């Protein structure tokens, strides 16, 4: 099949999922066309089966806001015609499903039928999409997609609760290529980050308010008093300065390493002993899955789809949002004893295997076929 994929190309779960999906589909022989405003961050390999089409927006002084959805839908029309695309797969409803629908209409005028699969990722539903300024357009775009998927049961339920949805929603979970994790890194050098007696705790996110990174630092503050440890903070975003200030004021800065955005996530996770994800909302928690694939247990909140990934008491622990003390005690329980840590590490890895890419990609392929048949 020739598949056009629309996503956000920056650091963020939905873009990462879309990029991994496109790459895996290309390996299975499909021709993949990414259509977005910048090269996706994890799209390393341009092959004969992967193409990238940049959406350019003409800046014009009259426009207070540049009309990205207009530029995207026009670009889609051109790409679909030029490359004879069979299926359009948009990741993140806003504004991608809306732009995709407009492209479908324009193509239909030209006698071209293009089925659209829309994948809901989380904040497009729970945070941004539910805003009254967007809600009618998001409802419309979901109901007019040919196939709709969500990345967890929890997100499906949220979507049905928040919007008036007439369409069936298929749950296709996020995934990971486990073949990359079967052997541990030979160059996994933890001495670059910590002394031998210290545990390594990691958090990775875009550091937006929803990630509650102040909770991460406060959880670490409690752990650090009982267990010699360092905290690695990966990513960047609006909450970072505030959390760094708290760390400075509470003499934690020597034990916290703020790495900023990184493309070496697996190299960091390979020497991590515990992953913290105390988010306010999390439709799935791809970062938790990446940690688990690297044999790292997770202490997280129990919001959204997180309990579908992080099994309480097995692969780590889940607690109510904001339960900083409880999360810290769970972390201490895991970290204090080598045998306990080892048990959680093994269970985390075993659970990650349930989300292996080879189990999930065929589900998307089947939905593409269904969309094509029904159009
Ligand atoms: O907020 C983020 O983490 C980014 C956001 C995105 O769309 O890029 O992530 C959402 O999609 C990810 C991939 O499906 C999920 O793993 C995240 O849980 C989800 N984030 C939230 O729901 C807050």
Q: What is the mean pLDDT of each run of 10 residues along the chain (375 residues)?
A: 94 87 95 94 76 91 90 98 98 96 98 98 88 94 97 97 96 95 72 94 96 98 98 97 98 96 89 97 96 97 98 98 98 98 98 97 98 91
Which pLDDT score, from 0 to 100, does residue 373 have?
Answer: 95
Which pLDDT score, from 0 to 100, does residue 186 have?
Answer: 60
159 CA → ligand 1 middle, Å: 14
Residue 297 Cβ inside 6 Å of ligand 1? The answer reads no
Residue 301 Cβ inside 6 Å of ligand 1? The answer reads no
Taking each helix axis as running N to C, give the angle between helix 324-336 and helix 213-226, from 0 to 180 degrees, rounded to the nearest 10.
50
Residues paired with 89 in a beta bridge: 5, 117
Residue among 7, 128, 282 whose CB has most ligand 1 atoms within 8 A, to mutate: 282
Residue 14 Cβ inside 6 Å of ligand 1? The answer reads yes
Which pLDDT score, from 0 to 100, does residue 63 have?
Answer: 87
Residue 122 Cβ inside 6 Å of ligand 1? The answer reads yes
207 CA → ligand 1 middle, Å: 12
Atom of ligand 1 nearest to the CA of 208: 1
Element at 225 (helix H, strand E): helix 213-226
Which pLDDT score, from 0 to 100, does residue 375 have?
Answer: 79
Q: Report the distance separating Cα 133 and Cα 94, nearest Å.
A: 12
Residue 93 Cβ inside 6 Å of ligand 1? The answer reads no
Q: Is the dihedral of CA 285, 291, 294, 297 positive or negative?
A: negative
Which pLDDT score, from 0 to 100, does residue 12 have?
Answer: 74
Residue 158 Cβ inside 6 Å of ligand 1? The answer reads no
Which pLDDT score, from 0 to 100, does residue 11 have?
Answer: 64
Taking CA atoms, 82 is separated from 36, 87, 117, 214, 348, in Å, by: 16, 14, 20, 49, 45
Residue 150 Cβ inside 6 Å of ligand 1? The answer reads no
Please, what's the b/e burial string for 101-133 (b: 16 or more CB within 10 A of its CB; e: otherwise)? bbbbebbeeeeeebbbbbbbbbbbbbebbbeee
Atom of ligand 1 nearest to the CA of 122: 22
Which pLDDT score, from 0 to 100, does residue 46 have?
Answer: 64
Which pLDDT score, from 0 to 100, does residue 61 have?
Answer: 84
Which pLDDT score, from 0 to 100, does residue 185 have?
Answer: 56
Q: Compute the chain's Rg from CA coordinates.
A: 21
282 CA → ligand 1 middle, Å: 6
Residue 17 Cβ inside 6 Å of ligand 1? The answer reads yes
DSSP class of 295: T
Which pLDDT score, from 0 to 100, does residue 22 have?
Answer: 95
The torsion region of residue 368 among left (phi > 0), alpha (psi -120 to 50) and beta comes to alpha
What the block records as the tokens of 76 is 């889609």
Residues 6+ apart with CB under 8 A from 53: 33, 34, 35, 36, 75, 79
Are 148 and 167 contacting, i.e. CB atoms less than 8 angstroms apart? yes
Q: Report the distance separating Cα 146 and Cα 141, nearest Å.
A: 10
The three-class DSSP label of residue 124 is helix
pTM above 0.95, yes or no: no
Which pLDDT score, from 0 to 100, does residue 140 have?
Answer: 96
Which pLDDT score, from 0 to 100, does residue 44 have?
Answer: 67
Which pLDDT score, from 0 to 100, does residue 87 have?
Answer: 98
Q: Report the distance separating Cα 161 and Cα 253, nearest Å.
A: 42
């Amino acid at each position: 099949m020739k598949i056009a994929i629309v996503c956000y190309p920056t650091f963020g779960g939905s873009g990462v999922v879309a990029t991994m999906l496109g790459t895996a589909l290309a390996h299975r022989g499909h021709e993949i066309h990414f259509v977005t405003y910048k090269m996706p961050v994890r799209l390393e390999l341009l092959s004969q089966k992967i193409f990238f089409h940049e959406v350019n927006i003409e800046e014009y002084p009259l426009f207070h806001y540049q009309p990205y959805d207009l530029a995207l839908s026009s670009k889609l029309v051109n790409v679909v015609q030029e490359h004879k695309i069979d299926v359009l797969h948009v990741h993140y409803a806003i504004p991608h499903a809306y732009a995709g629908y407009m492209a479908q209409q324009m193509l239909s005028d030209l006698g071209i039928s293009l089925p659209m699969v829309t994948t809901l990722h989380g904040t497009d539903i729970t945070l941004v999409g539910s805003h009254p300024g967007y809600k009618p357009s998001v409802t419309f775009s979901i109901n007019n997609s040919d196939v709709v998927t969500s990345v967890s049961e929890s997100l499906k339920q949220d979507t049905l609760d928040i919007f008036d949805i007439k369409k069936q929603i298929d749950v296709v979970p996020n995934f990971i290529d486990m073949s990359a994790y079967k052997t541990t890194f030979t160059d996994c050098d933890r001495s670059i980050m910590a002394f031998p007696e210290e545990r390594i705790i990691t958090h990775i996110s875009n550091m937006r308010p929803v990630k509650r990174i102040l909770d991460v630092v406060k959880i670490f503050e409690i752990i650090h008093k009982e267990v010699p440890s360092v905290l690695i903070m990966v990513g960047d975003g609006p909450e970072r300065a505030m959390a760094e200030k708290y760390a400075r004021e509470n003499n934690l800065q020597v034990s916290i390493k703020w790495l900023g955005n990184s493309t070496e996530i697996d190299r960091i996770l390979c020497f991590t002993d515990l992953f913290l994800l105390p988010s306010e909302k999390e439709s799935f928690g791809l970062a938790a899955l990446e940690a688990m694939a690297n044999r790292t247990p997770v202490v997280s909140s129990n919001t959204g789809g997180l309990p579908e990934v992080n099994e309480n008491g097995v692969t780590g622990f889940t607690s109510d949002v904001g339960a900083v003390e409880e999360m810290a005690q769970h972390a201490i329980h895991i970290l204090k004893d080598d045998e306990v840590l080892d048990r959680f590490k093994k269970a985390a890895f075993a659970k990650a295997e349930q989300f292996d890419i080879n189990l999930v990609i065929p589900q998307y392929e089947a939905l593409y076929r269904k969309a094509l048949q029904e159009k």
